[in-house]
Amino acid sequence: MNRRVAIIFILLTLGATFAATQAQPAPEESWMIPLVIILWLLTLVALLPSPPRRALPAPLRWLRAHPILYWLIVLVYIFGAIVLWLVPYQPTNGRWLTPVEFVYIAAVLWMLIFLLAYDMNQPQLREIGSKLGKSKLTGVMITLTTIVILLIGGEAYLRLFYITTDGYGFTAMNYWWYKNYGWSGLNSAGYRDYEPTPDDPANPLTRVAIVGDSFAMGHGINNIDDTFGQMLERRLGAGYDVNMIAESGLDSDVELSRVENYPLLPDVVILSYYLNDIDYLMSLSPDRHFAFIQDPFLGSVVLNFFLPNYIYYNLLQFTSSTRVAGFAYDLIAAHMDDNLWATQQTQLQRFVDWMKAHNIRLIVLLWPQIAQIKESIPATQRVRNYFESQGVQVVDMTDVLINQNPAEMTLNRFDAHPSIVAHRLAADELYEALLNPPAPTPEG
């Protein structure tokens, strides 16, 4: 056993050293080099014949003579080491571990092997087992260990398999989805898209720009190839370049400026319109339907750990039909408010006029609240009527989604953004709309 422990110590120390040579530590990670030095010193002391080596097992022997305390220290060590890793680094699926993290993990494993196996022998194991069998506290430790295992297991599962979005941007999972997927694929123009194909006079392109918010940028869709913009580009084939001018949270007051500042002028603009595009005019924040933790300590726990975050925000908050419906009805009510709609219509008119002035074909992709499609119809119909009165072609996803299974059209039960299936349906509708423009009116 001691020979195997020695090999493990050497491999972990060498691994930590190699990782340190590859690292570019931030100022707050200045502990990395001292930790590697300490790891080498401990390895040498633990393996080479010397007086310190003979003294090193003494604390372990004393602890192992008190098995309940030994068990508790090991359990606290494991839990504490994981917490000290999770809080500053937030390891999640979709992000590679940094070399500094590998140094930390190697050191943690070194110490864990030291606690569990260094200078351990069969008589010690039998003595520990005998004492634990007689102790009244063994049941307590089994319960505590089970709780720790469940906490660590739940946290690990969510970080590995549940990096996903919610509909309101509250959860840690949502933030890390954007960090690992949404913001990691931005092009030189700052949008979640491939680089636009440069103009080539010898091979002219029809340039299609999709303007919008989270629905257009592919909120919750891990692979941008599964978003309706990329699907549309593949369907259109050679001769077309579809460019995304979309970002989560964009409203109607800023979308025109994004088109004006885009480095390439499009031939066709697809405005992806969702009911929260009127958010900038609403005096009532949609967040008012949700409760937030006020206690700083509890707030920090919920913020930094996925398991309590999931329990609080997803299970306790989003399962409330009153809260979710309240958010949707606020958006619908804003569109039915004549004063707000008049201001919004003025903003949309600027968008329409700019497209006409630059001879750009405009298509509006109109999204309802997918979880409340029928309830959204008064608002979506008002938007549709306005654009059609301006001679703008409208692809109303209400007609497409109303007879579909809502569970298949949304990302998950906490997020009513369109799923990959809904993106595919939108791409199909846009393809048909692009190839079949409406007949010009006599005035046109």
Q: Tell whether the model's pLDDT for residue 165 goes beyond 70.
A: yes
- Please, what is the average pLDDT of the chain? 92
pLDDT at 320: 66
Please give the average per-residue pLDDT across 163-181, as a whole number. Answer: 90
pLDDT at 201: 86
pLDDT at 56: 87
In order of their start, the domains of the chain are 2-161 (no CATH), 200-435 (3.40.50.1110)
Return the percentage of the chain with pLDDT > 90, whole number.
78
pLDDT at 324: 65
pLDDT at 333: 92
Q: Tell whether the model's pLDDT for residue 37 goes beyond 60.
A: yes
pLDDT at 442: 56
Q: Tell whether the model's pLDDT for residue 411 goes beyond 90.
A: yes
pLDDT at 322: 61
Return the percentage of the chain with pLDDT > 70, whole number.
96
pLDDT digits (tens, 9 = 90+) for 393-406: 999 999 999 999 98
Q: Tell whether the model's pLDDT for residue 443 goes beyond 90.
A: no
**Confidence class for position 18, pLDDT limits 50, 70, 90:** very high
pLDDT at 388: 97
Q: Tell whether the model's pLDDT for residue 178 goes beyond 60.
A: yes
pLDDT digits (tens, 9 = 90+) for 272-323: 999 999 999 987 666 676 777 888 999 999 999 999 999 988 887 776 666 6
**Lowest model confidence (mean pLDDT) among 13-27, 32-46, 156-170, 219-233:** 156-170
Q: Tell whether the model's pLDDT for residue 390 goes beyond 60.
A: yes
Please give the average per-residue pLDDT across 404-421, as a whole number. Answer: 92
pLDDT at 314: 81
pLDDT at 161: 92
Give the 3-state DSSP-derived string for the chain, with helices as H, strands as E and coil as C: CHHHHHHHHHHHHHHHHHHHHHCCCCHHHCCHHHHHHHHHHHHHHHHCCCHHHHHCHHHHHHHHCCHHHHHHHHHHHHHHHHHHHHHHHCCCCCCCCCHHHHHHHHHHHHHHHHHHHCCCCHHHHHHHHHHHHHCCCHHHHHHHHHHHHHHHHHHHHHHHHCCCCCCCCCCHHHHHHHHHHHCCCECCCCCECCCCCCCCCCCCCEEEEEEECHHHHCCCCCCHHHCHHHHHHHHHCCCEEEEEEECCCCCHHHHHHHHHHCCCCCCEEEEEEEHHHHHHHCCCCHHHHCCCCCCHHHHHHHHHCHHHHHHHHHHHHCCCHHHHHHHHHHHHHHHHCHHHHHHHHHHHHHHHHHHHHCCCEEEEEEECCHHHHHHHHHHHHHHHHHHHHCCCEEEEHHHHHCCCCHHHHEEECCEEEECHHHHHHHHHHHHHHHHCCCCCCCCC
pLDDT digits (tens, 9 = 90+) for 62-115: 999 999 999 999 999 999 999 999 999 999 988 889 999 999 999 999 999 999
pLDDT at 406: 86
